């Protein structure tokens, strides 16, 4: 069974541009989560989608947005890129949204803003 897949693996953008990151969850999983892992800052929660709806949002500006498609895949959009947006962006999926449900992570997309 395929795990969580993210694309692209690496992305280089110029400051001010837009970036689009994509995530395909494990088959049957309805919840998708996005995290930012910047150097030295651990994992910062960005967004959580479940069954097509946004369930929760972390403390990030509105230029970070996303959506979940009917097949439960998801994309993260970052507008007006800033240098400090350079980070590893991790996507995770889970079968349900219950508290005991584990999340499975993808390998991440490394975004570099120059």
Partner 1 sequence: GDSVTQMEGPVTLSEEAFLTINCTYTATGYPSLFWYVQYPGEGLQLLLKATKADDKGSNKGFEATYRKETTSFHLEKGSVQVSDSAVYFCAPRREGSQGNLIFGKGTKLSVKP
Residues facing residue 71 across a β-bridge: none
Nearer to partner 1, 2 or 41 (CB): 41
Q: Give whichever of 35 and 72 is closer to partner 1, judged by the CB atom.
A: 35
Binding status of residue 98 toward partner 1 by CB under 8 A:
yes
Q: Which of 68, 108, 111, 113 binds partner 1 (CB under 8 A)?
A: 108
Query: Of the two residues 14 and 99, which places its CB atom closer to partner 1 in the complex?
Result: 99
Q: How far, in Å, CA of 43 to CA of 113, rounded?
A: 19
Q: Residue 15 burial (CB < 10 Å; 0-12/13-18/19+)?
A: exposed
Q: Which of residues 35-64 bind partner 1 (CB under 8 A)?
A: 35, 40-45, 48, 55-56
Gyration radius of the chain's alpha carbons: 13
Q: Report the C-alpha gap between 95 and 23 in whole angstroms.
A: 15
Query: With contacts defined by CB under 8 A, how many residues of the chain interact with partner 1?
Result: 26
Beta-carbon-side half-sphere exposure of residue 70 (alpha carbons within 13 Å): 0
Interacting residues with partner 1 (CB under 8 A) = 4, 33, 35, 40-45, 48, 55-56, 90, 92, 97-108
């Amino acid at each position: 069974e395929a795990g969580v897949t993210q694309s692209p693996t690496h992305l280089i953008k110029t400051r001010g541009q837009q970036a689009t990151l994509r995530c395909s969850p494990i088959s049957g999983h309805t919840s998708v989560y996005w995290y930012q892992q910047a150097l030295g800052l651990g994992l910062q929660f960005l967004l959580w989608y479940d069954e097509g709806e946004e369930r929760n949002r972390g403390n990030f500006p509105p230029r970070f947005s996303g959506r979940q498609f009917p097949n439960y895949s998801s994309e993260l959009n970052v507008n007006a890129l800033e240098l400090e947006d350079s980070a590893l962006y991790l996507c995770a999926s889970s079968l349900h949204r219950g508290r005991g449900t584990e999340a499975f992570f993808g390998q991440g997309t490394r975004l570099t803003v120059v």
